[in-house]
Amino acid sequence: MHRFNLYTRRAFLDQSFKLTLGVALSTLVNIPFVMKRALAEGNIGLPGPDGKVKKLLFIFLRGANDALNSVIPIEDPAYALSTTRPTTGIGIAKDTENAINYADTGPCLDLTQWTLNPNTRLLQPRTATDPTYSYDRAIDLGTGFAALHPSLKFLAPVYNAGDLVFVHRVGYPNQSRSHFDSQNYWESGAPNNNLVRDGIFYRTILESGLANKSPLTAVSVQSALPLILRGSAAAMTNLADPARYDLLGVPNTTAGNLKADQFFATGNLLPTPDRKNRELLALQFQNLSDTLQIFSQIPFSAEFYDNENTDQDAPYNLFPTSAAQNGGAPFHGGDSAKYVVDNSTSAYTFFKNLKAAALILNKTDAIIAGTEFGGFDTHSSQGGVTGAHANLLRRLAWAIYALRKYFLTQADRCTWDNLVIVTLSEFGRTTVQNSSGGTDHAEGGLMLIAGGGVRGYGKNGSTTGVFGCSPSEFSGANADLNWVPGPRTTNPATCGTMWAANVNVTQGYLKRQTDYRSVLGEIIRKHLGATQSQLNRIIPGYNPSGDKPEPELLSGGLSSVDGTKIRGEVGFLI
Amino acid sequence: MKAARFAALVACFTSVPWPSTLALAQQPAPPRITRFEVSNATARLEFSLFPGAQAYTLLSATNPAGPFAPDTGFFLASYPITNFFTNVVNNTNVIFTNRATLWEWRRTNVAGAAGFVRLEATPLASNALLAATVLNRLTYGPTPDELARIALIGPDAYIAEQLAPWNITEDVALTHSNIPAIEAKFRAADQIVYGTNAQIADLRAWHVLRAVGARRQLLEILLQFFENHFVTEYTKSRSFFAARYDDNPLENALATQLEYLENARWRTALLNPACTFYDLLEISAESPAMIIYLDTVSSRGDGTRVANENYARELLELFTMGVDNGYDQNDVTILSRCWTGWTVELFDPTNAFNPFASKTTNRVANLNTNFPPDDYRNLIGVWARRYRSDWHNTSTKVLFTNKFVPARFGPPWTTRTYGTNTVPGLYQLVVPGRTGTNGIREGYEVLRHLADLPFTQEYISIKLCRLFVHDDFPNPNNDPTQTNEYNFYNYAAGNLSPEAELVKACMLTWETNSPRGQIWKVLETIFKSDLFRSYGASQQKVKTPLEFVVSAIRALRTSTNGSNLAGSFTAWTDGYAVATPLQRMGEMLLFDRESPDGYPEAGPPWISAGTLAERVRWAQSFCIPAGQPGHAGSQAGTGNDAQNSACDPVGLLRAKLPASAWTNATEVADFFLGLLFPGVGPGNLQFARQAAVDFLNDGSADTSTTYRNTPFAGLPVSQGASAPYNERVRGLVAMLLALPQFQEQ
Record the pTM.
Answer: 0.94
At A221, give phi and psi (nearest 5°).
-125, 95
Q: Are B630 and A249 in contact (CB < 8 Å)?
A: yes
Phi, psi of A325 (to 5 degrees): -110, 15
Query: How many angstroms separate the CA atoms of A59 and A369, rounded?
Result: 9
In the predicted model, is pLDDT for residue A501 greater than 80? yes
No. of helices (H) and no. of strands (E), chain B: 25, 14
Amino acid at B636: A
Divide the 745 residues of chain B into consecutive groups of 10 and give the mean pLDDT of each group.
Answer: 37 41 60 85 88 90 84 88 66 71 86 74 91 98 98 97 98 97 98 98 98 98 98 98 97 98 98 98 98 98 95 98 96 98 98 98 94 95 98 98 98 97 98 96 98 98 98 95 94 94 98 98 97 91 98 98 95 96 96 97 95 96 92 58 94 97 98 96 93 96 96 97 96 97 96
Indicate the pLDDT class of residue A35, thresholds 50, 70 and 90: very low
CB B26 within 8 A of CB B533: no
Name which of A17, A277, A435 is nearest B299 (Cβ-Cβ). Answer: A435
Nearest to B35 among A3, A269, A275 (CB): A3
Q: How far is CA A72 from CA A161, A380, A465, in A?
A: 21, 19, 14
Q: Name the closest residue on chain A to residue B297, using Cα atoms.
A: A436
Do A260 and B731 count as a contact with CB atoms less than 8 A apart? yes
Nearest CB neighbour to A272, from listed B92, B684, B727: B684
User: DSSP secondary structure string, A45-103?
Assistant: T-B-TTS-B-EEEEEEETT---GGGTEE-TT-TTTT-TTT--TTTT--PPP------GG
Closest in B85, B607, B641 to A284, CB measured: B607
Mean pLDDT over the full length of chain A: 89
Domain that holds residue A164: 57-182+300-566
Any idea where the domains of chain B sit in the sequence? 6-123, 305-339+394-533, 542-743
Q: Is B80 helix (H, G, I), strand (E, B) or coil?
A: strand
Distance from CA of B345 to the nearest CA of A (A): 16
Beta-carbon contacts below 8 Å between A and B: 354
CB contact under 8 A, A434 and B309: yes
Task: Please indicate, yes or no, if residue A228 is contained in any of the structural domains.
Answer: no
Q: Which residues of A touch B46 (CB under 8 A)?
A: 271
Does B32 contact chain A (CB < 8 Å)?
yes
* Chain B residues within 8 A of A238 when measuring between CB atoms: 608-611
Q: In terms of DSSP bridges, do strands A445-450 and B645-647 run parallel, antiparallel, or are they unpaired?
A: unpaired
E strands present in B488-575: 571-573
* Candidate from B48, B300, B475 with C-beta closest to A435: B300
8 Å CB contact of B306 and A256: no
Task: Indicate which of A183, A212, A275, A346 best probes the interface with B, i.e. most B CBs within 10 Å of its own CB.
Answer: A275
Name the packing angle between helices B454-468 and B519-527 (round to 10°).
50
Is A484 a domain residue? yes
Q: Find the helix or strand (DSSP H, E) in which B459 lies.
A: helix B454-468
Q: Which residue on chain A is closest to B741 by alpha carbon?
A: A272
Q: Which of A5, A20, A239 sits opposite B610 (nearest CB)?
A: A239
DSSP per-residue string spanning A146-158: -EE-GGGTTHHHH
Number of domains in chain A: 1
User: What is the C-alpha separation between B401 and B425, in angstroms, rounded?
Assistant: 12
Per residue in A272-327, pLDDT (tens digit) is 888 888 888 999 999 998 888 889 889 999 999 999 999 999 999 999 999 999 99
pLDDT at position A275 is: 83
Q: Report, in this order, helix, strand and coil percent for chain B, each rounded to 5.
A: 45, 15, 45
Q: Are B460 and B473 in contact (CB under 8 A)?
A: no
Preceding omega of B480 cis (within 30 degrees of 0): no
Residues 458-497 on B with a CB inside 8 Å of A are 470-472, 474-475, 477, 484-485
Pairing relationship of beta strands B92-107 and B115-123 according to DSSP bridges: unpaired
Picking from B607, B615, B634 by the largest number of A CB atoms within 10 A of its own CB, the best residue to mutate is: B607
For B20, residues 6+ apart whose C-beta sits below 8 A from its C-beta are none
CA atoms within 13 A on the CB side of B286: 20
Model pLDDT for residues A187-206, shown as the tens digit of each residue: 999 999 888 989 999 999 99
Any chain A CB within 8 A of the CB of B542?
yes
Considering only CB atoms, B99 lies closest to which of A23, A262, A379, namely A262
Chain A residues closer than 8 Å to B470 by CB: 276
Which residues of chain B lie closer than 8 angstroms to A435, CB-CB?
Answer: 298-301, 305-308, 340
CA of B119, closest CA in chain A: separation in Å? 15
Q: Closest Cα of chain B to A323: distance in Å?
A: 20
Query: Could you tell me if residue A550 is inside a domain?
Result: yes
Asked if A281 lies within 8 A of B744 by C-beta distance, the reply is yes
Question: What pLDDT does B78 receive?
Answer: 87
Residue B15: per-residue pLDDT = 42
Chain A residues close to B52, C-beta within 8 Å: 273
Of B102, B294, B594, which has the smallest distance from its Cβ to A18's Cβ?
B102
- Rounded Cα distance between B344 and B331, Å, is 25
Nearest CA in chain B to A288: B609
CA dihedral A561, A562, A567, A572 (to 10 degrees): -70
Residue of A nearest to B93 (CA): A28
Q: Flag if A249 and B731 touch (Cβ within 8 Å).
A: yes
- Tell me the residue length of chain B: 745
Chain A contact present for B640, CB below 8 A: no
Q: How far is B701 from chain A (nearest CA, A)?
A: 5
**Shortest Cα distance, chain A CAs vs residue B19, angstroms:** 20
E-assigned strands of B48-144? 53-61, 69-70, 75-87, 92-107, 115-123
Q: What is the pLDDT of residue B20?
A: 42
Strand partners, A55: A419
The per-residue pLDDT for A333 is 76
Chain A, nearest residue to B292 by Cα: A380
CA distance A246 to chain B (A): 7
The nearest alpha carbon in chain A to B240 belongs to A381
Q: How far apart are CA B322 and CA B326, in angstroms?
A: 8
Do A262 and B101 make contact, defined as CB atoms within 8 angstroms?
yes
- pLDDT for A37 beyond 60: no
Residue A5 pLDDT level (bands cut at 50, 70, 90): very low
- Is residue B715 within 8 Å of A246, Cβ to Cβ? no
Band of the pLDDT at A253, cuts 50, 70, 90?
very high
Burial status of residue B79 (CB atoms within 10 A of its CB: 0-12, 13-18, 19 or more): exposed
- Chain A nearest C-alpha distance from B135 (Å): 18
> Residue A62 to residues A226, A385, B319, B655: CA-CA distances in angstroms?
11, 21, 21, 51
The answer to whether the CB atoms of B101 and A266 lie below 8 A apart is: yes
Smallest Cβ–Cβ distance between A291 and the set B609, B621, B739 belongs to B609
User: CA of A499, closest CA in chain B: separation in Å?
Assistant: 15
pLDDT band at A19 (very low <50, low <70, confident <90, very high): very low
Cβ distance of B324 and A238 shorter than 8 Å:
no
**What one-letter code names the amino acid at A432?**
V
Q: CA B189, B195, B196, B197 torsion: positive or negative?
A: positive
Contacts of B471 in chain A (CB under 8 A): 276-277
Cα–Cα dist B328/B317, whole Å: 10
Residue of A nearest to B677 (CA): A272
Q: Cβ A280–B46 below 8 Å, yes or no?
A: no
Q: Which of B2, B9, B37, B88 to mutate to test the interface with A (most CBs of A within 10 A)?
A: B88
User: Residue B90: its pLDDT value, please?
Assistant: 63
Is residue A299 exposed (0-12), middle (13-18) or buried (19+ Cβ within 10 Å)?
exposed
Residue A358 placed within a domain: yes
Please tell me the predicted confidence (pLDDT) of residue B31.
85
The answer to whether B100 contacts A507, with C-beta atoms less than 8 Å apart, is no
- Cβ distance of B313 and A294 shorter than 8 Å: no
